[in-house]
Every structure is written in structure tokens, then in C-alpha cells.
Amino acid sequence: MTPDQAAEIAAQRRQSAATRRPTVAALEAVIYEPIAVLDRGFVRVVDYMGDDGAVVQAARVSYGRGTKSVRDDAGLIAYLLRHRHTTPFEMCEIKYHVKLPVFVARQWIRHRTANVNEISARYSVVEDEFYVPAPEHLAAQSVVNRQGRGEVLQGEEAASVLALLEEEARRSYARYGQLLNEGPGGKPLDPDRKGLARELARMNLTLNVYTQWYWKIDLHNLLHFLSLRADPHAQYEIRAYAEAMLETVKRWVPLVHAAFEEHGLGGARFSAKALAVVRRLVAGETVAQGGSGLGKGEWRELMTLLGREC
């Protein structure tokens, strides 16, 4: 972060206000503080509403903080998640400030259940910051998954790819400055030229350039986002953001987080045919894919879930 941004965050963290609203000490301890993600990105909580008690209160439609014990609250929250009673989780909201590469943002924005305000490259000059993967995340195309990675590139091939990514990013940004006719500090490169409009000059920037946005979402839809993006099959770059956000959820609503770990991230759902296969296996029957009624893909997924060889 720039010194000005760091100073602004420090000033925000020095402020405090009395409130009758429920607050969460563990989240208050890190509010406004950026959590580093990737090489130059971050995610930080800037506001929130509600806590575990708000979920319980909505479910019971009661007044005050509720009359049940923490153990009872944990059981109720787990029941709600397990049976997909989503409305009580919509009573809590959280707002993040995120700095992320554009190609990650384009994946992220497919989750249309949040309020988003992104920095405008029509109004502001894009910063000279690009995401370049660490060597361990440079991988070839998977041969079994059309939208996944395979083996990690090694040696000269990896070095060549890294160099190419950095070279193209630097070159495109230099061209961007030429189109704008702007150099360091916004000074014109050529006083006799006007430069292209920012909304047009941005067209040649690469997808690994960083952008920023504020992203506000309710807890139910946040958990849905995390169930997909914190999954091991998600692309590494967006998964890195999801894992950082999971830590903020743990601080914010620990009972919900524990239930989500158990019944969301750590659980599984079965189709009717897959459940029939599980019942046959439990009964001691030998079941093969050909007689299971499942396609090869679903069979492979089921056997992976059960820890069996395909």
C-alpha cells in the first residue's frame, strides 16, 4: 500500500464510537487492517452488521439477545445450515475493500448477490501494478479439466513464461502512458499532444493489472461465495482471497463459521442415484460404475468423496 493509504488506515483504526449495536471484539481488532493476498493484493473489512446472535434472533424471531445458551445457539445455527434455512443468515452483512487483478475480478463479479463499486479507469489513471504468479503456481493446462491446471512448469520453460508475463505487462503499461500522454507524476510526455481519453487508453492494459472495489454482501450469500471459491477446485488466485475472507468470517461469526466448516466446506451433497449407490455399498454390495446409474464423471466424484479408487 502507498504511504498515504497506510496513513488513512491508521487514522481510521484510531477512531472509535459508542454504540448500542452488537459488536464483535475479534473483528473489531482487525477492522480496516489489510490482509495481504497474492503479490500486491489485499482484502480488508471496512464495516459489518450483526453477529452470531443476529442469526439466532432472526430464526427465533425473539426480542433482545435471546434466552438460550451458546451451546443451544450453536446447535440451532448448525441446524439452519444443514437444512438450508437461509433467511436468518441474510440478517448479517459485511463490507470489504479488495485490491485484486482484473481477471480475478471478472470471475468474482459473476456472483451477482453483492453490492459492488469498482474504481473507474475512466476517471482515474490505473496504477502501474500487475500480478505475476509465483513459480509454484505456474502450471500447464490440465489434460482432464478444461478450466484447470496440470503439472507445474519447471526450469527454463517456467523462467521464460514469467519473463514474458512481466515484459508484456510493462510494455502494455508503457503504451498506456503514451496513449494518455502522461509520465511520472502525471506530467505530459509531449506538451504539444493532448493524449487519448482515459476510457479509451485503458483498452490495451493486460488482465493482470490490479483494480480495487468495495464489496458488500449478506452472510448467506457470502457463505455461498466461499463454498465455491474456497473449494480446492477453485482457481488458486480467487481461492487465496476466499481463504483470507474465511478468516474474517471466523472472527466475525465463530458459531456460523464452525457450522459452515462442518456442513459446508467439509460436507457433501449426494444426488438420488449417488445416495442409492452409498446405501448399496453400506449393505455390503459390490457396485461398479456400469451398474450404478451414474455417469463416469459423477462416479469419479463419488468415489473421491468416499475415499475409494475408481
User: What's the confidence (pLDDT) of residue 169?
Assistant: 95
DSSP per position, 261-282: IIIIIS-----HHHHHHHHHHH
Question: Residue 310 above 90 pLDDT?
Answer: no
**Residue 105 pLDDT greater than 60, yes or no:** yes
* Range in 87-101, 120-134, 180-194 with the lowest mean pLDDT: 180-194
- Which fold does the domain 3-124+210-265 belong to in CATH? Gyrase A; domain 2 (3.30.1360)
Q: Report whether pLDDT(123) > 60.
A: yes
Q: Provide the pLDDT for residue 254.
A: 97
Question: pLDDT per residue over 233-282, tens digit each?
Answer: 899 999 999 999 999 999 999 999 999 999 989 888 899 999 999 999 99
The pLDDT value given to residue 5: 85
Q: What is the mean pLDDT of residues 28-55?
A: 96
pLDDT for the residue numbered 62: 58
Band (1; pLDDT cuts 50, 70, 90): confident
Contact, 244 vs 43, CB < 8 A? Answer: yes
∠ at Cα 170 (168, 176), nearest 5°? 100
For residues 149-183, one letter each, b for 16 or more C-beta atoms within 10 angstroms of the residue's C-beta and e for the rest, the string is eeeebeeeebeebbeebeeebeeebeebbbbbbbe
Considering the candidates 229, 251, 300, 308, report the single residue annotated as catalytic: 229
How many C-beta atoms surround the C-beta of residue 6 within 10 A? 11
The ranges assigned to domains in the chain are: 3-124+210-265, 135-204, 272-305
Reported as type and span, the H/E element at residue 95 is strand 93-101
Q: How sure is the predictor about 68, in pLDDT bands with cuts at 50, 70 and 90?
A: low
Annotation marks residue 229 as catalytic: yes
